[in-house]
Amino acid sequence: MDENTRNLIKKVERSVFAGNRAAAAKELGEIGDFDAVPVLLKALEDSSSKVKAAASEALGEINDPDAVPCLMKMLDYPESYVKKAAIIALGKIGTQEAVSGIVKGFRDPDKLIRKESVKA
């Protein structure tokens, strides 16, 4: 793991500001380092919806099938943009288990989530 990845992981774990945590999570996804997966999975439990969505997106970019169960839990979250990020991530991962999560989105009361599920 390089120094930049280590610094981003520290930001996700320790920054007081949700915007900084979300930006660091997004950047970890862009880097695509599997070493960041445990921190991103933990970030799905963050108090900030912005961080949850960014961590979901990052996990989709990294494309780790082990993240699917945690991403599926995000489909029960009340905020649409968190669910949308999880569905997009599940679509990128594309395993059979991920597809079952996407199918769950077909029954969501939110039209945006249903639409995103079809796209995924």
Confidence of residue 1 (pLDDT cuts 50, 70, 90): confident
The tokens of 32 are what? 């695509």
Buried b (16+ CB within 10 A) or exposed e, 76-108: ebeebebbbbbbbbbbebeeeebeebbebbeeb
Confidence at 25, pLDDT banded by 50, 70, 90: very high
Residue from 87, 84, 91, 24 nearest 51 by CA: 24
pLDDT of 59 > 90? The answer is yes
The span from the CA of 80 to the CA of 56, in Å, is: 13
Taking only the tens place, the pLDDT of each residue in 63-120 is: 999 999 999 999 999 999 999 999 999 999 999 999 999 999 999 999 999 999 999 9
Output the pTM of the full model.
0.95
Cα 46 to Cα 57: distance, rounded to the nearest angstrom: 14
